[in-house]
Amino acid sequence: MKLIVVSKADPTSMLVGRLLLEEYDFKPIGNDLYARGGIGLRVIREKHVHANGLGEDLKPELQVVASSHRSEAGVRALLTHPVGNWGDEVLVGGLPRTLSPTSAIALYGALQALRDAASSLGLNEWSIGLEVTHHGPATSIPTIFIEAGGPSGEAPDQKAVEAVARACMAACEICSGPPPAVGFGGGHYAPSFTRLALAEEYSFGHMCPKYAMPVDRALIEQAFEKTVERPRLAIIDWKGLRGQDRELLLLIFRDLGVEWVKV
């Protein structure tokens, strides 16, 4: 089973959940648990980013978390990303220096679905993209987040809620995609990796931004091992990294037997 998760602590998340229940024929199968074919829908009470161990009781092969997004710059965006913390500091859930498993193919499917939904629903001024790996929860279940939002305090747009619902379903239904990779470098909104994924050149699992570098071998190994497609390819945003960080990465890639491409 693949599982969509919505949180009662997140109004946008709950709007996505209600839409899925109303429009996608999910049927109740337990307390706050619904199903449609091989896809489940779960409603949780706690804030999703703090729900360490999320999904470990049900053991789905993938969980897709619908969430709100807040932009300090006020940019309205539809986004998808893996979860985990690259550093010792835990700002928003999860555990220090711990990445949760993720799926490059699910992220790819979600991103493509967000783009298609934005086009068909007239969300022409919304930004579409990947975000790098960040925040919680820490879990052993492959997890992605799919988010919609913009300026703080702004009510969610119903069309954006529909886009997230479509992307949640797409992430659960997709079975294949372009070659999987792990991304290194660039900013939080991963413009280079977003461009390559939208062009159907690569699908990205974990992504480490410039601001999180340098990271050590153990974290780099996590990034590859906890992308379920087990990529052996790194994509480096060459200009989006400091020279010393590039040199460190290349030494570790060579030691791990990982191929790399600079973009």
State mean pLDDT over 53-62.
98
Give 116: exposed, middle or buried? Use CB within 10 Å, 0-12, 13-18, 19+: middle
Q: Using one digit for the tens of pLDDT, what is the confidence trace for 167-214?
A: 999 999 999 999 999 999 999 999 999 999 999 999 999 999 999 999
Rg (CA), the chain: 17
State mean pLDDT over 34-57.
97
Q: Is the pLDDT of residue 113 over 80?
A: yes
State mean pLDDT over 250-260.
97
pLDDT bracket for residue 151 (50, 70, 90): confident
Domains and CATH numbers, the chain: 2-262 (3.40.630.50)
Q: How far apart are CA 175 and CA 170, in angstroms?
A: 10
pTM > 0.95: yes or no = yes
Could you tell me which residue, 155 or 99, shows the higher pLDDT? 99
Q: Are 52 and 42 in contact (CB under 8 A)?
A: no
pLDDT bracket for residue 225 (50, 70, 90): very high
Q: Using one digit for the tens of pLDDT, what is the confidence trace for 197-206?
A: 999 999 999 9
